[in-house]
A and B are shown apart, each in its own frame.
Chain A
Amino acid sequence: MIDQILTASVFAAALRLATPYMFASIGEMFGQRSGVLNLGVDGIMLMGAFFAHYVALSTGSAVLGVGAALVVGAVMGLAMAFISVTLKAEQGISGIGVYLFGLGMSELLFQRLVGTPRSVEGFTDIYIPGLSDIQFLGIGEIFFRHNILVYVAFLLVPISAYVISRTPFGLMIRAVGQNPQAADAMGISVARVRYMTVILGSMLAGLAGASLSVALLKVFQQNLTSGLGFIAVALVYFGRWRPVGILIGALLFSFVNALQLQVSAIGLDIPAEFAVMAPYVITIIALVFASRQTEKPDALTKPFERGE
């Protein structure tokens, strides 16, 4: 029974499902570590997904599509940063505004420019020579037969961990998020750092959208993300603002999701509603425990006022 449930394809599915969360959550982590909560992630993902798909459809190049998603993510990040950093608007509300804008605009553009769901060639799976053939424990199938964006998403974990904890830029981000007054006194431009992190995070959210529309699904439809961006924000809390924690959260959530699909597919007599609820229940339980040992940035959601 267990070997029917815990197949290599279930683990491989978990890695695929985790990919958009990895991009979006790590991007959101950069913003939150600097003190900016961006609840517009889902809307930015939708815009990234649409533009990646539209450009890939128009040009036949998924790479150009990814480029478009990064650009549109940067533009939306700039808008979010202007609203929350320069105008000092309430971050939760402005994030919801960005989400609704992305939801509506991506739908409008899709209706006007594409009209009906159409698939694109997108990124195909890359079998890593030598490694993809490893049969032992299904390692080859689990880790080495994915499209390029899956590999990039997981490479992002050590890269972002290094940037946050070992570079001057990471130090500035942490300083601005923990104590912006002190950072300002040391000559760090709080606004500039926050602009950079929000734009970077939004570019990664755009990339998360692209990972759906030109890599994993290869199709676009209205509200394609179905609220996935909000789970990504929760995973930042789950991961306690650390890339490795986010990785664990994304994998856990995705693994339970993949598992419930497998349980359902092989016809085990478990009510579908319970199986579908499981990933969310586990996330909520984990969030409760995470909140007890929180390493939440002190200045999160607080606009910076010099001289406070």
Chain B
Amino acid sequence: MNKRVMSLVLMVLAALLIGLLPSVSAQDVFRVAAVAPSATNDLAFSQSMFDALTKIDAEMGDAFEFVFQDGTFVVDDAAVALREWAASGEYDLIIAHGSQYGAIVEELAPEFPETSFAWGTDQNTFGLPNVFAYTAAAGEGGFLNGAMAAMMSKSGIIGVVGPIEVGDAKLYVDGFVAGAAAIRPDVQVQVTYIQSFSDVPLATEAANTFVANGADVLTGTAQMVVGPIAVAKENGIPWFGTQSSQAELSEASGVMFQVYRWDVVLMDMIASIQGGTLGGESYTLTLANGGLQMVMGQHGS
């Protein structure tokens, strides 16, 4: 057998071996499409979902793919994306990450009964067998943050910048106020809802107003908190956060952050879908199930 024949045989054997190696066929890949109102780097709500999907992607490797449409603060834009994804039939799970998308999910899910949908933050699956709902018990971390904030405050005045009094933002703020009161009943927690999730200038001025009124600890929720964090840093006062870790931005002011670990419930959903259950269940992130984690910032550690 000359060298040429030998090489040919080896090449054929190599090709056969490669073919026999276990591989992920296109059909085995679990595909997710998600839409979110703000940016994937908002240090808040949208980033928490993007981080979760990125984590799952790293864990599942070739068996997982996802697309993420961020910045769809216009609900109609989100509706277009969600419908296109559902109509394509390419995705095993379509996530509408925002309570404002609930009506769209309720409308689309019956039209595409073979596709699984998830939405939050809410617990309502609309009684549909292909809809999952998810929420976060944000009051739990809020309580812990509030308790620690009350212990740290020397003036006894704490400022809270909230967006709109709904959903997990309200849960967090209510929990924070309750936690502070549980530790120091005399503490004064000043709360301002600026009626916007994105108005950074107004949120910043709300934080400045708290500081002018004697607040020496600040907290807030939603993506406009980047402004109040800058106020906390500039005045050298502690900052408590929620939804995602804001440790990098808050630097020495950051004390503790409640981080949403959506991957915990998403892994459950994926297992359910792979087992043939497309929905009908609602999930809640809690400290007990690991869906909520408290992360320390520079000031805290």
Contacts and interface: CB of A to CB of B under 8 A. Distances in A.
B282 interface: no
A271 B215 CA distance: 22
Interface string B214-254: 00000000011011011001100000000000001100000
Given A261-B209, A265-B159, A222 B71 contact: yes
Identify which of B42, B212, B224 gathers the most chain A CB atoms within 10 Å of its CB. Answer: B212
A219 B208 contact: no
A150 to B, nearest CB: 13
B230 A217 contact: yes
Nearest to A224: B200
Interface string B180-219: 0000000000111111101111101110111011000000
Contact of B209 (A115, A118, A265): A265
Contacts of A10: 209
B201 A273 contact: no
B43 to A, nearest CB: 6
Contact of B226 (A7, A117, A261, A266): A117
A283 interface: no
Identify which of A117, A219, A272 gathers the most chain B CB atoms within 10 Å of its CB. Answer: A117
A226 interface: yes
Interface in A101-126: 107, 111, 115-119
Contacts of B190: 264-267
A57 to B, nearest CB: 13
A240 interface: no
Contacts of B159: 265
A225 B224 CA distance: 11
A117 B201 contact: no
Contacts of A228: 201
Nearest to A13: B205
Contacts of B200: 212, 217, 219, 221, 224, 226
Identify which of B42, B198, B209, B210 gathers the most chain A CB atoms within 10 Å of its CB. Answer: B209
Given A13-B209, A221-B39, A257-B202, A116 B230 contact: no
A265 B161 CA distance: 9
A272 B165 contact: yes
A116 B205 contact: no
B206 to A, nearest CB: 5
Contacts of B233: 119
B258 interface: no
Contacts of B226: 117, 217, 219, 221
A107 B230 CA distance: 20
Contacts of B204: 216-217
Nearest to B196: A226
Contact of A217 (B73, B192, B227): B227
B43 A9 contact: no
A159 to B, nearest CB: 24
A272 B192 CA distance: 8
A7 B228 CA distance: 21
Nearest to A115: B41
B175 to A, nearest CB: 19
Interface residues of B, number: 39
A272 B248 contact: no
Contacts of A222: 38-39, 42, 71
A119 B235 CA distance: 14
A269 to B, nearest CB: 13
Interface in B25-82: 38-39, 41-43, 71, 73
A121 to B, nearest CB: 10
Contacts of A178: none
Identify which of A116, A224, A225 gathers the most chain B CB atoms within 10 Å of its CB. Answer: A116
B230 A219 contact: yes
Contact of A9 (B193, B212, B229, B234): B212
Contact of A117 (B43, B73, B202): B43
Contact of A119 (B165, B196, B230): B230
Nearest to B223: A221
Contacts of B194: 261, 276
A16 interface: yes
Contacts of A13: 205, 208-209, 212
A265 B213 contact: yes
B201 A216 contact: yes
B147 to A, nearest CB: 21
B230 A261 contact: no
Interface of B: 38-39, 41-43, 71, 73, 159, 165, 190-196, 198-202, 204-206, 208-210, 212-213, 223-224, 226-227, 229-230, 233-234, 248-249
17 contacts: A9-B208, A107-B39, A111-B39, A116-B43, A116-B249, A117-B43, A219-B229, A221-B42, A221-B200, A221-B226, A224-B200, A226-B198, A264-B190, A265-B213, A272-B193, A276-B194, A276-B195
The 6 closest A-B pairs by CB, nearest first: A9-B212, A276-B195, A264-B192, A117-B226, A116-B41, A226-B199
Interface of A: 7, 9-10, 13, 16-17, 20, 107, 111, 115-119, 212, 216-219, 221-226, 228, 257-258, 261-262, 264-267, 272-273, 276
Given A219-B230, A265-B209, 13 more contacts: A115-B41, A212-B201, A217-B200, A221-B226, A222-B39, A261-B194, A262-B213, A264-B206, A265-B190, A265-B213, A266-B190, A267-B190, A272-B192
